[in-house]
Structure 1
Amino acid sequence: MKEMILIIAEIINTMHDVILDLMEFANLDLTDKDLHLWIMGIIGIGIFGFTHVFFKFLLKYGITAISFVYTFTVMIVIVFAIEIQQQITGRGQMEFDDAVIGLWGFLLFFAAFLSIKAIHKGMNNLLNRKKSKPKNRRFRSEQNKRSQ
């Protein structure tokens, strides 16, 4: 996992250098803070646009789908933050497999949640169906004959 973080850091550092070179080539005298404002603003609005469209699509499947995607995203940040913290403090070992297993734990518990939710919904549907059936079928059929 350490190697993966170093590769990502190297990619970001290279992109940073390329952007600085482009700004210098374009004779734009932007400070590091200016670049952060523009680059993070552009990245943020791009992510927002994608997320907005994606969540509107997910809304067809209910708020649970949106909540799942949001929670899964937060869980990714948390598991990697824990692994990085372990590397920095030297407590525990930073391993990619630990992050993956942590996310599998969330997926397992979410599957259990969906199962319980489906069972609860199915039981409610059965109970509501039984409540809505008329008890006296002869009375109902006589009413149908009269109305015809």
Structure 2
Amino acid sequence: MESVLILASRVVNFLHDSILLVVQQSGTPIGDKELHFWVFGLIGMIIFFCSHAAFKYLQRWGLGAVSFVFTGIILTILAVGIEVEQYITSRGQMDTADVVAGLAGFLAFFLAYCLLVLIGRLFLAIGRMIGGRKKDRMWRS
């Protein structure tokens, strides 16, 4: 995990320095803050359009699919963030297996939730088959 983060930080630093060098060589009077403004603005819009297209595609399977993917993304970010925090504060060992274990926990709980929903729907379907809508008619005069 540590080597992946070090590699990622090197790539980000290389891109940052390269973009800053190109901008400075072009003679454009732009500082680091303005560079962050433009780069994050562009990256944000790319992420927005990609996620919008992905969520629109997932919408075919309902809001649950969109919520599942969104939750998975947030939990992945949270798990990696916690691992980085543990490394910085020396409170634990930064390990990719911890991230995988955390996401596996989410999948296990989500599968249990899906199973409960299916059981509930099964009972409702059986109840409708047995009782039908006669109960509703009983209360009408």
TM-score by length of 1: 0.85
The one-letter amino acid paired with 1:101 is A
How far off its partner does 1:80 sit?
A: 0.8
Name 1:35's counterpart in structure 2.
Answer: 35
Report the Cα distance in structure 2 between the residues aligned to 1:124 and 1:41, rounded to whole angstroms: 49
2:47 is the alignment partner of 1:51: no
Q: Distance in 1 between matches of 2:37 and 2:121?
A: 48
Aligned partners of 1:99 and 1:70: how far apart in 2?
17
Aligned to 2:19: 19
The whole-number CA distance in structure 2 between the counterparts of 1:89 and 1:45 is 33
Tell me the CA shift for residue 132 of structure 1.
2.9
For residues 133 and 25 of structure 1, what CA distance do their matches in structure 2 show? 77
Displacement, 1:133? Answer: 7.5
The residue that corresponds to 1:110 in the other structure is 110
Question: What is the CA-CA distance between 1:98 and the residue it aligns to?
Answer: 0.8
RMSD of aligned C-alpha atoms? 1.4
Counting matched residue pairs gives: 134
1:39 maps to a residue whose letter is V
TM-score (norm 2): 0.89
**Deviation sequence 1:91-135 (CA, Å, 0-9, x none):** 11111111111111111111111111111112212222333378x
| Structure 1 segment 1-148 matched on structure 2, within 5 A | 1-132=1-132
The Cα shift of 1:42 comes to 0.5
Rounded to whole Å, the distance in 2 between the matches of 1:132 and 1:56 is: 37
Q: Tell me, in whole angstroms, the C-alpha distance in 1 between the residues paired with 2:18 and 2:90.
A: 34
Q: Helix, strand or coil: the match of 1:93?
A: coil
After superposition, the C-alpha distances for 1:69-103 in whole angstroms (9 at most, x for unaligned) are 11111101111111111111111111111111111
User: Unaligned 5+ residue runs, structure 2?
Assistant: 135-141
Q: Distance in 1 between matches of 2:56 and 2:91?
A: 42
In structure 1, runs of 5+ residues without a counterpart are 135-148
Larger Rg: 1
Letter of the aligned partner of 1:107 in structure 2?
L
